[in-house]
Amino acid sequence: MLLTDADLSACCASRRWIDAVAARRPRDLDELRAAAASALDELEWPDVEEALDAHPRIGDRVDGWSKAEQSGMDGAESDVRAALIEGNRAYEDRFGHVFLICATGRTAGDMLGDLRTRLGNGVEAERAVVRRELAKIVDLRLIRLVGEEDL
Structure pTM? 0.89
Domains of the chain, by residue range, sit at 1-54+134-151, 57-120
pLDDT band at 62 (very low <50, low <70, confident <90, very high): low
Specify the CATH number for 57-120; select among 3.40.50.300, 1.10.3330.10, 1.10.3720.10, 1.10.287.110. Answer: 1.10.3330.10
CA-wise closest residue to 67 among 118, 4, 141: 141
Per-residue pLDDT reduced to its tens digit, 68-84: 565 566 677 889 888 98
Per-residue pLDDT reduced to its tens digit, 104-141: 888 889 999 999 999 999 999 999 999 999 999 999 99
Q: What DSSP assignment string belongs to 40-90?
A: HHT--HHHHHHHHTTSPPTTS---HHHHHHTGGGTT--HHHHHHHHHHHHH
CA-wise closest residue to 64 among 13, 124, 121, 123: 13
